[in-house]
Amino acid sequence: MPEPTADKAPRGAIDNLVLDAAKRGVRSAVLCNTLIYGHGAVPDTASVQLLRLERQAKKSGIVRHVGRGLNIWSNVHIDDVVDVYRRALDKTPAGTFYFVESGEAQFRDMTTAMAKTLKLRGPEDWPFEEAVKEWGYEMANYGLGSNSRVRGTRARKLLGWTPKRDSVIDWIEKELV
């Protein structure tokens, strides 16, 4: 596995501490979520990435994505996240790392669906520097301007997890608002 960049090293260190707890008899696991979408049971909570895109769009009247929007993120519905966490609590082998995803989508496709659903102009390409002014470097670069493609194969195999939702685009078109 490649070494994380300096700004992401603390996250890797925490993951390693959790996984190493298995050596001390702790049934520990790390679940690494991708872009989470959907309306959860807790009021006034929402996806980190999609909420920022939606708020910016409503504020400006234009749906935008960072750069050309060609970046791709794996994603998972909040109900499927709850299910995989429940399964991990019940039966994870100690010291296991899981990626949590049920599909993937390009940001351009997500913002196209968002513009249609919100009946706003767009989507439009947004220069990185402008996105940084709106969201800060971390969010513009890592959260909305990068790729994050993973496979949740281990969660499916070891936990018997089968996501019920697999299309963030369908959710944006039918349930975002």
Query: Residue 79 sits in a domain of what CATH number?
Result: 3.40.50.720
**pLDDT of 140 above 80:** yes
Local confidence band at 85 (pLDDT 50, 70, 90 cut-offs): very high
**pLDDT of 121 above 90:** yes
Query: Is 52 contained in some domain?
Result: yes
Query: Is 2 contained in some domain?
Result: no
**pLDDT of 28 above 80:** yes
Local confidence band at 40 (pLDDT 50, 70, 90 cut-offs): confident
Q: Is 24 helix (H, G, I), strand (E, B) or coil?
A: helix
User: What pLDDT sits at residue 41?
Assistant: 81
**pLDDT of 3 above 90:** no
**pLDDT of 128 above 70:** yes
User: What pLDDT sits at residue 12?
Assistant: 87
What is the percent of the chain where pLDDT is above 90? 81
Range of the domain at 78: 8-175
Count of domains in the chain?
A: 1
Query: Is 3 contained in some domain?
Result: no
Encode pLDDT of 144-175 as tens digits.
999 999 999 999 999 999 999 989 999 999 99
Spatial neighbors of 14 by CB under 8 A, at least 6 apart, are none
Query: Is 161 contained in some domain?
Result: yes
Query: Is 144 contained in some domain?
Result: yes
User: What pLDDT sits at residue 77?
Assistant: 96
Spatial neighbors of 30 by CB under 8 A, at least 6 apart, are 15, 18, 19, 96, 97, 98
Query: Is 154 contained in some domain?
Result: yes
Query: Is 20 contained in some domain?
Result: yes
Q: By C-alpha distance, which of 88, 69, 95 is closest to 152? A: 88
Local confidence band at 2 (pLDDT 50, 70, 90 cut-offs): low
Query: Is 1 contained in some domain?
Result: no
